[in-house]
Amino acid sequence: MRHKKVQVVLIQQELKQLFLFQVSKERGSFWQNVTGSVEAGEEIKTAAKRELLEETQIVADTITQLPLSFNFTDRWDKDVTEYCYVATTTKNRVSLSQEHQTSKLVSIQNVPADMFHYPSNYEAFIAALEWVKQQ
């Protein structure tokens, strides 16, 4: 049975900026989107909303599933499917959980692939950017 995860790209809609989150030093200090596991019996979209709230204290104005998912084996040798979402907010500040040491806002016009540790985070950002352009 595959483990389910979510990845949420958080966009500050008025400023057209991306929130990036730097994970704790213990986890490697790299930059990423919001990520987390889907709990047993939990709907995937509900997990995306919960993870966003737990990690940032933000309730999204909108949250939309992107037509993108990833299959991989994680560091604990679990087979994982990760579902991608884009969330928007008018807030320009977050309150971080212990999983992250800091966050920053970056213009969505200025996000290079090497800003992310994992290529899937950049791919999710590109899919979110396409979604933003259609709004």
The predicted-structure confidence for 47-63, as pLDDT tens digits, reads as follows 999 999 999 999 999 99
Q: Which domains does the chain have, with CATH numbers?
A: 3-134 (3.90.79.10)
If DSSP codes are grouped into helix, strand and coil, which group holds residue 26?
helix
pTM given for the model: 0.95
Are 38 and 44 in contact by the 8 Å Cβ rule? The answer is yes
Q: Which residue type occupies 73?
A: T
pLDDT tens digits for range 6-48: 999 999 999 999 999 999 999 899 999 999 999 999 999 999 9
